[in-house]
Chains A and B, each alone.
Chain A
Amino acid sequence: MMVEALLLTVITAATPLLLAAIGELVAERSGVLNLGVEGMMVVGAVAAFAASQSTGSTYVGILAAVLAGSAMALLFAILAVWMATNQVATGLALTLFGLGVSGLVGESFVGLPGLRLAPIEIPLLSDIPFIGEALFGQDILFYASIALTIGVSWFLFRTRAGLRLRAVGDAPVAAHAIGINVLLTRTLAVVFGGACAGLAGAQLTLVYTPQWIENISAERGWIALALVVFASWRPARLVVGAYLFGAVTNLQFQAQGLGIPVASQFLSALPYVATIVVLVVIASNRRFTMINTPAALGQPFVPDR
């Protein structure tokens, strides 16, 4: 029982990180660094809350979150991909904008009870002792996070389109020369990233804490960005990273529950410090990163006709 409860809380904390990170991984593989994950996620979260409130359906909420996240990503793509603006600054602008918009839209929802996404029991499998309920009695967003990870892995490394996308991220000039539409590829990758960030936001307001709190994303978008580096742009490693961070967030609450005599602020700082440590450890391992980092990451591409 104890194991099961622990596993459940870790999964709930890890799912939004995994969803947001898998989307950002695809965008970065195409050579686009989108620092607006936090902004897309929080707008997705408020969209999910608003739509599920007004229709009474959590699934409409999920759909609204995907659309909102995609729309935010499209705004980013118009600037950073088509107009070749600086990606770092544009991503920051997207986050500032998203936090502002979500605060504005969500003002009237503060304090309202939200709808909770119903779990889907998978017959037989969910009866497995200890882990069954945690793994196979989950909501659709958890299943989606696993399915997307497997799907993205297959797409990037087993399909022609995935190969093209990676070519665009590694050598846009060469890709353009052989007739691949670099800007369109990058736009689609960025919008996919936005859709995933929207799903992550939906998980926050429909599963994690079914209510609207301002800044509900609580820097998870930034942690997702760090996870992509941690995974050195490989989808399978994202799962490890996301669950590791899910466990770290959980550690805070466990430590408080057990009455460990540490000021709460130091426990709250754990995820941020852990992120820095992870970034340093991964970056210092050259073999790990150099091979996988998309060579053109963060560089705008302007086709010469």
Chain B
Amino acid sequence: MRIELRRRTGGASLLREVASPVIAVAFTALVGAGLFALLGKPPLSALHAYFIEPLSDIWSLHELAVKAAPLILIAVGLSACYRANVWNIGAEGQLVAGAIAGSAIPVLFPAATGPWLMPAMIVMAMAGGAAWASIPAVLKNRFGASEILVSLMLVYVAELLLDYLVRGPWRNPEGYNFPETRQFPPSARIGELFSAGDWGGRANWGIVIAIAIAVLTWLLLSRTLKGFEISVSGASPRAARFAGFDARATALFVFLFSGALAGLAGMIEVSGAIGQLRPSISPGYGFAAIIVAFLGRLNPLAVILAGLLLALTYLGGEAAQMSLGLSDRTTRVFQGVLLFSVLASETLVRYQIRIVRNRPADAALPEAAR
């Protein structure tokens, strides 16, 4: 008895393309039901509280948009990286670096105002995120250092830098010694989509920016030479070399691209949802976005839906905490299980899984002799 994988012929059909994320989500819900039962909660009503209730009122839909924006933005950038087989797992650090750089003007020059302020903040945030992402890229290209570990280590360095700034030089002088910066002035805040009326709520322009960038990135990856270069260098480094694509330039490009988007996500978070810098500004968006990228099968359009779903796991965690007294740690467990399921169902799409009886005698024989 052993498990055997056989590559499916004829490529993956569209049905299977769509089936794989759906299977993954269904399996995760199943595991979730089991987990709730283990924790002594009624599984079905817990699932309902987790995944359905947050979608049933306007306020929560706004929250969903607020949380989905950074997830979508970061995951779109990471999709480009992973297509090129470049492993940026430090987006959380690039988010923090972008948030710091984007906050410099409103924190240091609180009187500064004008129509130029928001574009300047956006440019600085993207530059900050890209600069932070350039470190692992350059160290990979120049010395061959593992970008996985370097980008991850820089997450903790960025978080400590943020902590130092908000407790030290950037602390609000009128803030009774709380570890936070000044509140941003109104002109440094991203506007709300519908601040009043029946549709009113907290959702800001961040979600619109995120979706627009996702669509543009989809065009870049699927309709331009650059996108082709990225895919080829990931799928077949040798073919990329023959085509004259420079692997180092591609690695640098996807790192800068994903870093800039993560930086923008960080700025949208502090300038939209929070309104100041604090010691912690992200509930792990940079890591959850890795799941979003895979759930969206590295396709920026599908990433939009995947981002909404991951945003729902955060919201559901909060809702289940309030209504059922479930720990918010379940969110992390869910996210881990979801990534497992996504990866496993990917295998189901690419291979036929067959369980075969062992015939040890055959194992060493060439095909023709059987």
Q: Which residues on A are within 8 Å of B, measured CB to CB?
A: 35, 39, 75, 79, 82-86, 88-90, 92-101, 103-104, 107, 179, 219, 222, 225-226, 229, 263, 265-266, 268-269, 272-273, 275-276, 279-280, 283-284, 286, 289, 302-303, 305
Contact = CB atoms under 8 A, between A and B. Distances in A.
- Chain B: interface residue count, which band? 35 or more
A89 B294 contact: yes
A84 B350 CA distance: 10
B143 A269 contact: no
Nearest to B136: A276
Contact of B333 (A104, A279, A302): A104
Interface string B342-367: 01101100010100000000111001
B336 A100 contact: yes
B149 interface: yes
Given A92-B290, A99-B332, A269-B160, A276 B3 contact: no
B4 interface: yes
Contacts of B353: 83
B148 to A, nearest CB: 7
Given A84-B347, A94-B336, A279-B149, A219 B329 contact: no
B157 A229 contact: no
B156 interface: yes
B336 A222 contact: no
A89 B339 contact: yes
Interface string B278-291: 00000000010011
B327 to A, nearest CB: 6
Contacts of B333: 97, 100-101, 104
Nearest to A303: B4
Contacts of B287: 92, 96
A150 B335 CA distance: 38
A226 B332 contact: no
Contacts of B336: 39, 93-101
Contacts of A89: 290, 294, 339, 343
B149 A179 contact: no
Contacts of A284: 142-145
Nearest to A105: B329
A84 B351 contact: yes
A85 B346 contact: yes
Contact of A92 (B139, B142, B329, B339): B339
Given A222-B153, A263-B168, A100 B330 contact: yes
B157 A272 contact: yes
B73 to A, nearest CB: 19
